[in-house]
Homo-oligomer: A and B are copies of this chain.
């Protein structure tokens, strides 16, 4: 009897993990119990109501997406002198790592370095043309990666930039980027 109930509650959790946008009504139908029971179960499991769940997902992801993909630079720029050097910090979050190993996926280090290199170039529009990168030490969940980019040469519209990324003073990543300026810094309307 109580076994029934516990099984149902597990199912409820699974259902909501798959699709957090189910109403009590829908859950009641899926689990073949009354809405009242679903409410009690939610209370017991301290699962908030649909609107709260929706709101949480929305606001959590809103800021995350804005911070992660919506901006021009991955990581937070803490120092920048156009055409000379730039520094950014990236805090490694849960969703950037391999689930099994909690090791940062390589492309995030690349993204941080690449976007920093592009930001460094003194041009309105700059694109990456070439990159050689090397990963030295795996970066783990929770680490703070400090990337330093330096312009090493500039021939016409092509800039060579070296980015070194460190965690606790140890170099974890190094990249050489060739960035091409498409539009020189002239009219920045």
A interface residues (Cβ-Cβ under 8 A, vs B): 20-21, 51, 54-55, 57-59, 61-62, 64-65, 68-70, 72, 74, 95-96, 98-101, 103, 105-107, 110-111, 114-115, 118, 124-125, 127-135, 138, 182
Q: State whether A115 touches B125 (Cβ < 8 A).
A: no
Given contacts A58-B61, A65-B64, contact A125 B110 (CB under 8 A): no
Q: State whether B72 touches A98 (Cβ < 8 A).
A: yes
Across the interface, A95 reaches (CB within 8 A) one of B69, B125, B127, B135, namely B69
Apart from A72-B98, A106-B114, what 9 extra A-B contacts exist at CB < 8 Å? A21-B55, A58-B61, A61-B65, A69-B95, A110-B110, A127-B138, A131-B133, A131-B134, A132-B132
Q: How many copies does the complex hold?
A: 2
Across the interface, A128 reaches (CB within 8 A) one of B57, B106, B124, B129, namely B106
Residue of B nearest to A126 (CB): B98
Q: State whether A21 touches B69 (Cβ < 8 A).
A: no
Ranked 10 nearest A-B pairs via Cβ: A61-B61, A107-B111, A58-B58, A106-B128, A57-B58, A54-B58, A132-B132, A69-B95, A107-B114, A131-B133
15 contacts between A and B (CB under 8 A): A54-B54, A54-B58, A55-B58, A57-B62, A61-B61, A65-B95, A68-B69, A69-B95, A72-B99, A107-B107, A110-B111, A130-B132, A130-B134, A130-B135, A133-B133
Cα-based distance from A91 to B18 in the complex (angstroms): 24
Contacts of A21 in B (CB 8 A): 55, 58-59
Give min CB distance, A178 to chain B, whole Å: 9
Q: State whether B135 touches A133 (Cβ < 8 A).
A: no
Contacts of A103 in B (CB 8 A): 125, 127
